[in-house]
Copies of this chain bind each other. A is one copy, B any other.
Amino acid sequence: MTEPDDLLPEGLEDRLPDEARRITHAMRAALGVLDAHGYDRVLPPLIEFEKSLAGRMAKGPDEAQPRRMFRFVDPASLRTLALRSDITPQIGRIAATGMANAPRPLRLAYSGDTAVIRADQLDPARGRVQLGAELIGADTVEAAAEVVTLAIEAVAAAGVTGISVDFTLPDLVDTLADNAMPLPEEARKAVRRELDTKDAGGLKDAGGEAYLPLLFATGPFADAVEKLRAIDAGGALATRIAGLEQVAARIGDAARITLDPTERHGFEYQSWFGFTLYAENVRGAAGRGGTYCIAGSEEPATGFSLFLDTIASAVPDPERADTLYLPTGHDREAARRLRAIGWRTVAQIGEGEDPQALGCTHRLDGKDTVAL
> Which residues from chain A sit less than 8 Å from chain B, CB to CB?
1-3, 5-17, 19-21, 23-24, 28, 35-38, 40-49, 51-52, 55, 70-72, 74-77, 79, 81, 83, 90, 93-94, 96-100, 103, 105, 107-108, 112-113, 115, 117-118, 127, 135, 138, 140, 142-143, 146, 296-297, 323, 328, 339, 343-347, 349-350, 353-354, 357-359
Q: Do residues A98 and B42 form an inter-chain contact, with CB atoms below 8 A?
A: no
Residue from B11, B12, B90, B105 in contact with A350 in the complex, judged by beta carbons closer than 8 Å: B105
Count copies of this chain in the complex.
Answer: 2
Contacts of A43 in B (CB 8 A): 14-15, 19-20, 23-24
Alpha-carbon distance between A17 and B40 when the two chains are bound, in angstroms: 6
Contact A46 B3 (CB under 8 A): no
Contact of A5 among B3, B40, B49, B94 (CB under 8 A): B49
Question: Please, which residues of chain B bring their CB within 8 A of the CB of A146?
Answer: 347, 349
| B105 touching A51, Cβ below 8 Å | no
Please determine whether A20 and B42 come into contact, CB atoms closer than 8 angstroms.
yes
Contact B1 A296 (CB under 8 A): yes
The answer on a CB contact under 8 Å between A96 and B344 is no
Inter-subunit contact A72/B75 (CB<8 Å): no
A103-B354 contact in complex given A83-B47, A96-B6, A344-B35, C-beta closer than 8 Å: yes
A138–chain B nearest beta-carbon distance, Å: 6
Q: List, sorted by A's number, 9 A–B pairs whose CB atoms are closer than 8 Å.
A: A7-B97, A8-B52, A9-B81, A17-B108, A21-B40, A36-B343, A38-B323, A38-B347, A146-B347
B70:A42 contact, CB within 8 angstroms? no
Q: Is the CB of A138 within 8 A of B48?
A: no
Chain B proximity of A358: nearest CB distance (Å): 6
The listed residue (B16, B40, B49) touching A8 by CB distance below 8 A is B49
Least CB distance, A27 to chain B, in whole angstroms: 10
Determine whether the beta carbon of A47 is less than 8 Å from that of B127.
yes
A72 near B74: Cβ-Cβ < 8 Å: no
A78 CA to B339 CA, complexed, in Å = 48
Instruction: Establish whether residues A345 and B2, one from each chain, have CB atoms under 8 Å apart when the complex forms.
Output: no
B47 contacts A349, C-beta separation under 8 Å: no
8 pairs of A and B residues whose beta carbons are closest in the complex: A15-B43, A38-B346, A17-B40, A12-B45, A103-B357, A142-B349, A36-B339, A20-B43
Q: Are B9 and A48 in contact (CB under 8 A)?
A: yes
Q: How far is the CB of A177 from chain B (nearest CB, A)?
A: 30
> Which residues of the partner chain B approach A42 to less than 8 Å between Cβ atoms?
14-17, 20
Inter-chain CA distance A79–B12, complex, in Å, is 14
In the complex, chain B residues whose CB is within 8 Å of the CB of A350: 105, 138, 140, 142
